[in-house]
Amino acid sequence: MFNQPTAVRSVLSPAYLRWALQGHYDIGTWEECTFWLRGLNDTYRVRTSEGTFILRIYRTQVMETDVHYELNMLTVLQDHLKTSVHTGIGDYIQTKDQSGCIMIDAAEGKRAAVMFHYIEGVEKNLEDEASCYAFGQSAAELHRAMDQIKLGSGRDHSRFELDTKFLIDEPLERIIRYIGESHEEAVFLRAFASTLKDQIQTASGSGLDYGLCHGDMHGNNNVFQQQKRFIHYDFEWVAPGWRAYDLAQVKIRKRQSGDAEQKQQLWEALMKGYRSVRSFTDTDEQAVDLFIIARRFWVMGLDVAFIESDMGALDYGADWLSDFVEEFRETGIVK
């Protein structure tokens, strides 16, 4: 019903979270709960008598089954990475009832809450060849460990895949619904999406590496470096997909500086590091640039998904649309 005050996305009070959650964990006496970061989900820093932790409050669109998939994967992945030299993951804190996540009440509905270990380390922008090489080793170790994970039974069976439906079809539907079917750019966006999808399917037919992926491996705000070891976290988008898509996100990472030649040198260092641990064929590498384009189209669709609940429409009008359309035209995919 919409004749009553209705929240789309609330920011939960730290005092409420402390009241609602402290009894579910054996992590000592809560001393502080601070709203830390607003992103796709909300992050809080929790300090207790036993240390510091990170609390994630997922948005309502993330179902409990999605959270359990992520946590189950982390549990298994942690075991497969025990002997890894270059890679670790940010693991979660188990609840007293062993459920992993707690569904709490919010003004807009139920939201999942998960407590994670606090990760010490340095956020690296991957702007030197040594760190890029080390990150490549870490990414390969992560993929190698993921190759050993078999998730697909019970409540995990309905997990989405990072396929063309996820990367292109669903974003296109959101974008067209937002700008309107009659918009002058709708025809181009449909043609662009269709051609991009065909090119991905053609590339996939050549035998691209496909398996469990991190799903958001851009290497900026989802990994910390501890000497030559990288600790990966934020596995919300983990799902089966093309490994070229995972690495495409690293190649176009945010906050990357330098000219084209420097960026290429850093990418080559990353590839050398990756291939020192795990195979990545020339065909897979050639597909990376194609998946960079797919990632940008997905990001456009993600923008649309959060306009109503988070960002507002002011900055997502004609200029936002024309910038994306110009970027897509420059790819030459649609002649």
* Nearest-angstrom CA–CA distance, 335 and 331: 9
* Nearest-angstrom CA–CA distance, 231 and 78: 11
User: Taking Cα atoms as reference points, which of 12, 10, 44, 41 lies closest to residue 30?
Assistant: 44
Angle of helix 243-251 versus helix 282-306 axis, rounded to 10: 70
- Full pLDDT tens readout for the chain, 335 residues: 567 888 999 999 999 999 999 999 999 999 999 999 999 999 999 999 999 999 999 999 999 999 999 999 999 999 999 999 999 999 999 999 999 999 999 999 999 999 999 998 888 788 899 999 999 999 999 999 999 987 654 444 578 999 999 999 999 999 999 999 999 999 999 999 999 999 999 999 999 999 999 999 987 667 888 887 999 999 999 999 999 999 999 998 866 777 889 999 999 999 999 999 999 999 999 999 999 999 999 999 999 999 999 999 999 999 999 999 999 999 999 97
Q: Report all structural domains of the chain as residue ranges with CATH numbers, in order of start.
A: 14-118 (3.30.200.20), 129-331 (3.90.1200.10)
Instruction: Give residue for tokens 């820093």.
Output: 45
Q: Give me 180's structure tokens.
A: 């309107």
**For 235-294, how does the pLDDT look when each residue is reduced to its tens digit (9 = 90+)?**
999 999 999 999 999 998 866 777 889 999 999 999 999 999 999 999 999 999 999 999
